Amino acid sequence: MAAAQTGTGKTAGFTLPLLQRLSEGTPAPARQVRALVLTPTRELAAQVAESVALYGKYLPAMRSAVVFGGVKINPQIDKLSRGVDVLVATPGRLLDLYQQKAVRFDNLEILVLDEADRMLDMGFIHDIRRILKVLPQKRQTLMFSATFSNEIRGLAKTLVNDPVQIDVSPRNSTAERVRQWAVSVDKSHKAALLTHLIDDEQWFQVLVFTRTKHGANRLAKQLESAGIQAAAIHGNKSQGARTRALAGFKNGDVRALVATDIAARGLDIDQLPQVVNFDLPNVAEDYVHRIGRTGRAGASGQAVSLVSGEDRKLLKDIERLIKKPLERKEVTGFDASKAAPEPADDRPPRPPQRPRGGGGGRPGGNKPGGGRRSGGGQRSGGGGRPAGAGNGSGRPNQGGRARRSGGGNRGA
């Protein structure tokens, strides 16, 4: 289990020795794999595959491939039919290929979980356990990430035997060359502030993170209407659209790439100068990965967080995780303290409630379905929809499940 800051070369850290070891053995036979690298998102899978091909360019006998969802499966089946020494994959597509008998793991020597903390969260753990069941018991398992919570470390230890733990830098730390600052702003003025910063600071390449897919689409349109070339990238976009948006951002055609946390994990964008948290992440560890898109390989960068009133607790969680406060700045004209106050509540005051207990509920309290409303407004007496029931979309409510962020959906 290896932890190191973002942008310090973890991909090279496992790829180079992996290739060295495999080069000394026998090439993989048909439909077999010798080393498997699992990643949480398609974009990261493609990037790791590029690194494997680059580092192994002088090993002509070494065959590698990448498989993920959102594209046709038949070309992937064809490539696997000849045998692959290094396979980079997302979990969902890998299981599909295994079920179609397109790939086997009898010859597997090495398993790598890249961004291991995300691979072991509730979004992926079930698929990971299914994959582990079909892998040989005798193998080397490697786990890499910039963040490992205590819970994830405990879970990881149940999947491997007596793991060696290597921490290159303090846990959950951020790169020292990334300047981090926050600005308070009313939620309704965030888009205007971002537009102002991009124009006034002359940011020509900025990666912006939002909490939701809809929010990413909306913000990209707002930036476009302000004359800033923008594109959105998230899990609801087709793979072609995601690839084009990322390529346009890297080559400078797109000035602002608006993304969910699908882009927070592992993506290496050369010399990216700015990252903006338009919405703070719900999980503090995701902040470390988001801002790790800048300040990579010794370069400098800056990470800006737009903080509204509802974000303050999330900001405290982040500062507690990274063990330092973010610098506060004010931007003229966008001071949150000068934002319009909430509208007054014109409703008449409620009458005093009768004391609870002793059998004295409010009138009608014993009617079927007439119980008091609990926290979220659902009647506890039976009027609401139970957790896990349908929500009208044909899918169950997520209820109390841990959220899936970014690339957390199966197959990414």
With helix as H, strand as E and coil as C, how does 213-245 read? Answer: HHHHHHHHHHHHHCCCCEEEECCCCCHHHHHHH
Q: Show the domain range for 236.
A: 178-338
- Asked, for residue 297, whether it belongs to a domain, the answer is yes
- Asked, for residue 272, whether it belongs to a domain, the answer is yes
pLDDT band at 382 (very low <50, low <70, confident <90, very high): very low
pLDDT digit string, tens, across residues 235-252: 899 888 988 998 999 899
Looking at residue 345, its pLDDT comes to 41
Looking at residue 391, its pLDDT comes to 45
Question: Domain holding 31: CATH number?
Answer: 3.40.50.300
Looking at residue 294, its pLDDT comes to 85
Within 10 angstroms of residue 138's Cβ, the number of other Cβ atoms is 7
Looking at residue 367, its pLDDT comes to 41
Same domain, 163 and 184: no
Prediction pTM value: 0.64
Looking at residue 352, its pLDDT comes to 47
Single out the residue in 320, 338, 356 at which a domain terminates: 338
CA–CA–CA angle 265, 317, 43 (5° rounding): 10
What total number of domains does the chain contain?
Answer: 2
The DSSP code sequence of 162-179 is: S---EESSSTT---TTEE
Query: Whose CA is closest to 291, among 402, 221, 191, 206?
Result: 206
Residue 210 to residue 276: CA distance in whole angstroms: 9
Looking at residue 2, its pLDDT comes to 82
> Which residue has better confidence, 271 or 203?
203
Query: Whose CA is closest to 410, among 137, 121, 217?
Result: 121
Residue 304 to residue 313: CA distance in whole angstroms: 17
Same domain, 14 and 124: yes
Cα maximum dimension of the chain: 82
Quick one: average pLDDT of 62-90? Answer: 96
Owner of token pair 């951002």:
249
* Model confidence at 58: pLDDT above 70: yes
Same domain, 94 and 132: yes
Q: Residue 111: which residues within 8 A CB-CB, separation 6 or more?
A: 35, 36, 38, 135, 139, 140, 141, 142
Single out the residue in 303, 338, 373 at which a domain terminates: 338
Same domain, 140 and 260: no
Same domain, 281 and 226: yes
Structure tokens at 286: 């995701």
Same domain, 126 and 223: no
pLDDT digit string, tens, across residues 26-53: 999 999 999 999 998 888 899 899 999 9
Same domain, 136 and 189: no
Looking at residue 363, its pLDDT comes to 39
Q: Are 144 and 268 in contact (CB under 8 A)?
A: no
Looking at residue 172, its pLDDT comes to 54
pLDDT digit string, tens, across residues 78-111: 999 999 999 999 999 999 999 999 999 999 999 9
Q: Are 354 and 360 in contact (CB under 8 A)?
A: yes
pLDDT digit string, tens, across residues 123-167: 788 999 899 999 999 999 998 887 777 777 787 777 788 888 887
Single out the residue in 167, 189, 218 at which a domain terminates: 167
